[in-house]
């Protein structure tokens, strides 16, 4: 064995060293190529074919090219369903102006979508079919700002954010149309969005407006702070209870994503995570304009127009990924389905566009980086296998 190694090392091996040199050149070129393709792939921008140059106020995606939308045009506000390449108007502003008051579209567990166009009423939409749940007015009249079903499906109940006239509040409601009493709003918060966290538990976001703590204590410049609330309602006529509340120093919260026993609340100046096990708030420095959940408990954070990176978050941490081009729109509404994320907003020319992101393409073999990684591993394995084989063959003699 030792003699074989000695003969191998003593022999002229110009071809072998040439091969090694070429391999190192390949490594260097590959490193530059991989770095050049390390930016985020799978993004595309397009027009809204359903309603050209419309401003999408609310949207709920069911599947690829299948969604419900509340969109504003010069004619007014439309509520429509788009599927199989065709738009079906549920509310057309030329005959009905009630869509202008819609503040939410919530997908229900059965695949239908809920919204509200009038007091004490929930509009249920399933394709082109609509129905109404009328809420008993014995405990007062109210508009519905947002709603979220109970995580416990057997309860057949939901929590509502309501406009009580001079303040916002929470009410529970059963599926048969019986609402609870409203929660007293002693914290002077304007509640805006709500999402279920677990059985009989919800997370709500809103803003607190303080007229005596603005600039130079001037009521004309009130201080506005974003708020997160943990709300409990166990059913019946009893009003929901605000169990915990966190007031952030600035910005606004725009997205809520449930991840197991936690709720990720994304905002423009920070991201907050609420843990339902120990009822604690954790705060991260991640800032964004939109946060959307992909597959395998991955959350994608997107920034403002002209930002040059996105953040990919998992339970193990987060990664900042550069964009191939700067963010082309200011995101106003968004949704996801079938490994695709859809973001709606306005570009720098004042045109409303749709930015799509196929998150399954990031790091896949179809992407530039994925292909280069695969090529590097394949060529690396082939070269070293050939070199190893030559060494063994030479040492036999």
- Residue 176: predicted pLDDT: 87
Q: In what order do the strands lie in the sheet with 352-358?
A: 43-46, 352-358, 340-346, 330-337
β-partners of residue 144 are 162
Q: How many CB atoms lie within 10 A of CB 281?
A: 15
What pLDDT score does 9 carry?
47
Task: Kindly state the tokens that stand for 389.
Answer: 């084989």
Residues 6+ apart with CB under 8 A from 199: 150, 151, 152, 155
Which residue matches tokens 């570009």? 347
* Residue segments in the chain with a per-residue pLDDT below the cut of 50: 5, 9-10, 12, 36, 365, 367
Q: Exposed/middle/buried for 81, CB within 10 Å: 0-12, 13-18, 19+?
A: buried
3-state secondary structure the chain: CHHHHHHHHHCCCHHHHHHHHHHHHHHHHHHHHHHHCCCECCEEEECCCCCCCCEEEEEEEEECCEEEEEEEECCEEEEEEEECCEEEEEECCCCCCHHHHCCCCEECCCCCEEECCCCCEEEEEECCEEEEEECCCCCCCCEEEEEEECCCHHHCEEEEEEECCCCEEEEEEECCCCECCCCCCCCCEEEEEEEEEECCEEEEEEEEEECCCCHHHCCCCCEEEEEEEEEECCCCCCCCEEEEEEECCCCCEEEEEEECCEEEEEECCCEEEEECCCCEEEEECCCCCEEEECCCCCEEEECCCCCCEEEEEECCEEEEEEECCCCCCEEEEEEEECCEEEEEEECCCCCEEEEEEEHHHCCCCCCHHHHHHHHHHHHHHHHHHHHHHHHHHHHCC
pLDDT tens-digit readout, 294-321: 888 899 999 999 999 999 999 889 999 9
pLDDT at 225: 96
Alpha-carbon gap, residue 175 to 132, rounded angstroms: 11
Q: What is the CA radius of gyration of the chain?
A: 28
Note whether 162 and 142 are within 8 A (CB). yes
Predicted local confidence at residue 188, as pLDDT: 85
Sequence ranges of the domains in the chain: 1-31+367-397
pLDDT score of 185: 80
The span from the CA of 244 to the CA of 305, in Å, is: 34
Identify the pLDDT of residue 4. 55
């Amino acid at each position: 064995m030792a003699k074989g190694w000695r003969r191998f090392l003593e022999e002229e091996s110009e071809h072998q060293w040439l091969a090694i040199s070429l391999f190192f050149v390949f490594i260097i070129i590959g490193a530059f190529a991989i770095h050049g393709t390390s930016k985020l792939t799978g993004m595309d921008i397009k027009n809204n074919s359903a309603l050209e140059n419309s401003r999408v106020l609310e949207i709920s995606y069911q599947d690829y090219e299948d969604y419900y939308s509340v969109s504003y045009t010069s004619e007014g506000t439309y509520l429509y369903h788009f599927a199989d390449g065709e738009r079906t108007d549920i509310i057309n502003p030329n005959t009905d102006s009630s869509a202008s008051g819609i503040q939410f579209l919530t997908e229900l567990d059965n695949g239908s979508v809920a919204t509200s166009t009038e007091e004490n009423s929930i509009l249920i939409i399933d394709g082109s079919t609509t129905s109404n749940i009328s809420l008993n007015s014995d405990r007062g009249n109210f508009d519905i700002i947002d709603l979220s079903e109970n995580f416990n499906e057997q309860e057949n109940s939901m929590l509502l954010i309501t406009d009580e006239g001079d303040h916002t509040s929470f009410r529970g409601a059963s599926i048969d149309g019986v609402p609870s009493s409203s929660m007293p709003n002693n914290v002077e918060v304007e509640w805006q969005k709500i999402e279920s966290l677990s059985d009989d538990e919800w997370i709500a976001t809103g803003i607190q407006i303080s007229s005596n703590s603005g600039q130079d204590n001037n009521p004309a410049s009130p201080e506005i702070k974003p708020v997160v609330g943990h709300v409990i309602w166990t059913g019946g006529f009893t009003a929901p209870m605000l169990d915990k509340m966190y007031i952030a120093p600035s910005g606004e919260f725009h997205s809520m994503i449930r991840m197991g026993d936690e709720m990720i609340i994304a905002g423009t100046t920070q991201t907050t995570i609420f843990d339902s096990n120990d009822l604690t708030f954790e705060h991260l420095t991640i800032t964004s304009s939109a946060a959307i959940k992909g597959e395998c408990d991955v959350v994608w954070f997107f920034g403002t127009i002209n930002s040059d990176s996105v953040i990919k978050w998992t339970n193990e941490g987060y990664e900042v990924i550069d964009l191939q081009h700067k963010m082309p729109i200011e995101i106003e509404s968004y949704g996801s389905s079938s490994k695709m994320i859809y973001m709606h907003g306005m570009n720098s020319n004042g045109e409303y566009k749709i930015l799509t992101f196929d998150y399954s393409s990031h790091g896949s073999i179809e992407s530039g980086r994925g292909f280069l990684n695969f090529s590097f591993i394949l060529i690396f394995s082939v070269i070293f296998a050939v070199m190893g084989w030559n060494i063994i063959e030479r040492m036999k003699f």
